[in-house]
């Protein structure tokens, strides 16, 4: 009895690929169904006139009218500007603080493992619990922050951190930065450990000081990871509703009403489902543009490193 001949390499590779696709097909179809069905329904809804107070008889097609209404609404423009400030400031501070912590935790000192674990606490705690703690700390009557500042003589009267228009958004940015910087620190620590120690030794032998070693060795070594962090944190922060809503409900007035909160309030607060859906579609387009931009930057940075 003759043994079966082994398959050629190319044919074997094709069979393995088909088998791999067959294995992931159920999960892929489920993800597509969960993602595509709501997205398609949102797109259809955005072209209609539908609200929670009306029945099916009140539904009719309006085309791009909802989008035109958004683009001509000053409230929308203000929400977009607040979203830009919220995202840029939060992500920038998260990256800077995360890089500083990562560089600090790269040094050898007693208890470094414990400190690394403690740094992750803000990121792993439930957002509802931490938001309520920060609301208590920011309280202008019994909050610990005002109590400490008054005792130190820094301020003379309590500051309404979350109920004053000029302080609400910066206070929320502070909370967002505190909660999210551990992710940046964790990613950057991994990137720093991947830089060969020989590069730092060579730079020292060439007489490079710490700042030049940081510019010419550290930054090029973590460039790709920084771009990944910027992409993920920008998308997460831009789409974040939970943090601001738990802290301020978008107030006082509309001082912290970013675009996601405006869309949420429009769809479920005012009951204008079609208008809210059109706002969500525009947010989705913005996210796609951001992802495409970051991929272009990532590919360029990667090609420079290979050159």
Cβ atoms of residues 139 and 211 within 8 Å = no
CA distances from 175 to 72, 159, 242 (A): 32, 16, 12
The Cα–Cα gap between 141 and 162 comes to 12
Any idea which residue has 């490079």 for tokens? 208
Question: Could you report the per-residue pLDDT of 144-165, keeping only the tens digit for each?
Answer: 999 999 999 998 999 999 999 9
Cβ atoms of residues 238 and 286 within 8 Å = yes
Cross-strand bridge partners of residue 48 = 61
Question: Could you report the per-residue pLDDT of 2-52, keeping only the tens digit for each?
Answer: 555 555 566 777 888 888 888 888 888 888 888 888 888 889 999 988 887
Query: Which sequence spans correspond to the domains of the chain?
Result: 1-46, 64-306
Domain 64-306 bears CATH identifier 1.10.3720.10: yes
Which segments of the chain have a pLDDT < 50? Answer: 1, 57
The Cα–Cα gap between 241 and 250 comes to 9
Nearest to 135 by CA among 251, 261, 263: 251
**Structure tokens belonging to residue 15:** 């069979």
pLDDT of 8: 58
Cβ atoms of residues 287 and 235 within 8 Å = yes
Nearest to 103 by CA among 260, 205, 210, 177: 210
């Amino acid at each position: 009895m003759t043994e079966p001949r082994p398959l050629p390499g190319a044919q074997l590779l094709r069979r393995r690929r088909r088998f791999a696709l067959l294995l992931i097909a159920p999960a892929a179809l489920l993800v597509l169904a969960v993602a595509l069905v709501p997205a398609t329904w949102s797109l259809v809804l955005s072209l209609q006139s539908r609200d929670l107070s009306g029945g099916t008889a009140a539904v009719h097609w309006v085309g791009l009218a909802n989008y035109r209404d958004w683009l001509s609404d000053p409230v929308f423009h203000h929400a977009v500007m607040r979203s830009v400030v919220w995202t840029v400031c939060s992500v920038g501070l998260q990256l800077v603080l995360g890089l500083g912590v990562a560089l600090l935790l790269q040094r050898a000192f007693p208890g470094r493992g414990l400190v690394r674990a403690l740094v992750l606490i803000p990121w792993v705690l439930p957002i509802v619990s931490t938001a309520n703690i920060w609301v208590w700390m920011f309280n202008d009557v019994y909050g610990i922050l005002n109590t400490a500042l008054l005792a130190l003589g820094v301020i003379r009267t309590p500051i309404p951190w979350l109920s004053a228009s000029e302080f609400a958004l910066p206070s929320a940015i502070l909370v967002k930065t505190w909660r999210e910087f551990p992710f940046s620190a964790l990613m950057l620590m991994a990137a720093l450990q991947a830089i060969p120690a020989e590069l730092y030794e060579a730079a020292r032998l060439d007489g490079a000081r710490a700042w030049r070693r940081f510019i010419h060795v550290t930054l090029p070594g973590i460039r790709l990871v920084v771009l990944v962090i910027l992409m993920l944190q920008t998308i997460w922060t831009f789409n974040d509703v939970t943090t601001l809503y738990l802290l301020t409900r978008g107030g006082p007035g509309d001082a912290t009403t970013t675009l996601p909160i405006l869309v949420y309030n429009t769809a479920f607060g005012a009951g204008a489902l079609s208008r809210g859906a059109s706002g969500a579609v525009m947010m989705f387009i913005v996210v796609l543009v951001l992802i495409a931009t970051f991929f272009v930057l990532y590919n360029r940075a990667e090609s420079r490193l290979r050159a």
